[in-house]
Amino acid sequence: MKVIESPSEFAAELDNSRVSGARIGLVPTMGALHDGHRSLIARARSECDVVAVTIFVNPTQFDDPSDHERYARPIREDLALCDNERVDVVFTPSERGMYPNWPSEPSAGMWVKGLADDWEGHWRPGHFGGVATVVAKLFATSGRCRAYFGEKDFQQLAVVREMVAEMLFPVDVVACPTVREPDGLAMSSRNSRLSPSEREAARVLNRALAAGVRAIRDGCTNPFEVSSIMSDTVRDEALVDLEYACVVDARSLSVPHELDRTSPLRLLIAARVGDVRLIDNCDGMFDEEIVLNDERTKVARCAAG
């Protein structure tokens, strides 16, 4: 496994592989790798000849500087995980490598309108500009590839897809299902910062999604009613501060006038648990098995009825 810090060396390495016909799989990450990342790498491994993982805690996508400072950076463990998963190349650029003027403001960047405006875009101003900019830089460096992103960051996935379509990047974006802890909590690098009581309280995100799905399955067609049901579920948990809970059209990410079960819906939720911000989402028709244990049984029973 090669570990490369220089963007030009990383680009040259992938160019060389492409000359011999290799299909490149790119897995962009901010490190602190967990089983969610492992599943992206495994998918890339199964579909591509060369797998490249990028590890870069991108400063421009943090709206809160203390979140950036506290973001875990266990590089030794990350490299061991990559090695275990038979990754070919790990790209670990420096801040200066990715942003030549760093720490001054970048002189150019990327923006995506519409899909990036609400939800995370509203609660984390500037976040998607930072994400789009760094992902564009990674795509520019890596060249033609398949790029693997988790559905856990559903809006990010939509924003990246939009950018690829608009900017004509030679990249196939591959969406991979969210990986969950046994009790249903979506895996996130931030979960490790939860105290035991916060970790327990964080399960309410999953319960809120389940409650929303159940309401839709029970025939509720009013998106605001679904969102109230989700919010009420979270309100029961004193350690959790809800930011938003909503049901949106899965393609436009806007709230439909009425819930029409023939068009794809997505339930989105974001909350603070102590000083840790968590997000999650699920398919509005519950096509994926997101809610585990007792909640899943209840939703399944409700669907059957």
Name the burial class of residue 267, with classes exposed (0-12), middle (13-18) and buried (19+) by CB atoms within 10 angstroms of its CB: buried
Alpha carbons 109 and 140: distance in angstroms, whole number: 13
Mark 145-173 as b/e (b = at least 16 C-beta within 10 Å): bbbbbbbbbbbbbbbbbbbbeeeebebeb
Nearest approach, Cβ of residue 298 and ligand PAF (Å): 31
In which element (H, E) is residue 243 found? Answer: strand 240-249
Q: Which is nearer to ligand PAF, 130 or 212 (CB)?
A: 130
38 token code pair? 């492992």
Alpha carbons 145 and 22: distance in angstroms, whole number: 10
86 token code pair? 């038979």
Residue 151 engages ligand PAF in binding (rule: CB under 6 A): no
Q: Which stretch, 3-11, 93-101, 131-139, 218-226, contacts ligand PAF (CB under 6 A)? A: 131-139
Residue 191 engages ligand PAF in binding (rule: CB under 6 A): no
Residue 131 engages ligand PAF in binding (rule: CB under 6 A): yes
From residue 48 to residue 67, the character string flagging contacts with ligand PAF as x (rule: CB under 6 A) and all else as - is ----------x--x------
Residue 234 engages ligand PAF in binding (rule: CB under 6 A): no
Residue 204 engages ligand PAF in binding (rule: CB under 6 A): no
Residue 278 engages ligand PAF in binding (rule: CB under 6 A): no
* Phi, psi angles (nearest 5°) of residue 123: -80, -20
Q: Which is nearer to ligand PAF, 164 or 216 (CB)?
A: 164
Residue 78 engages ligand PAF in binding (rule: CB under 6 A): no
Q: Which is nearer to ligand PAF, 133 or 227 (CB)?
A: 133
Q: Which stretch, 22-30, 65-73, 236-244, 287-295, contacts ligand PAF (CB under 6 A)? A: 22-30
Nearest approach, Cβ of residue 166 and ligand PAF (Å): 17
Task: Pick the binder of ligand PAF from 7, 28, 129, 223 (CB under 6 A).
Answer: 28
Q: Are the beta carbons of 259 and 280 closer than 8 angstroms?
A: no
Alpha carbons 196 and 305: distance in angstroms, whole number: 36
Residue 40 engages ligand PAF in binding (rule: CB under 6 A): no
Task: Pick the binder of ligand PAF from 17, 29, 39, 206 (CB under 6 A).
Answer: 29
Strand, helix or coil for residue 65: helix
Q: Which stretch, 24-32, 71-79, 91-99, 161-169, contacts ligand PAF (CB under 6 A)? A: 24-32
Nearest approach, Cβ of residue 286 and ligand PAF (Å): 24
Task: Find, among 4, 5, 86, 93, the residue nearest to 42 by Cα.
Answer: 86
Q: Which is nearer to ligand PAF, 139 or 286 (CB)?
A: 139
Residue 135 engages ligand PAF in binding (rule: CB under 6 A): yes
Residue 159 engages ligand PAF in binding (rule: CB under 6 A): no
Q: Are the beta carbons of 263 and 278 closer than 8 angstroms?
A: no
168 token code pair? 């004509």
For the chain, counts of helices (H) and of strands (E): 12, 9
Instruction: Just list the catalytic residues.
Output: 37
- Which positions lie near ligand PAF, rule CB under 6 A? 28-30, 58, 61, 131, 134-135, 153, 156
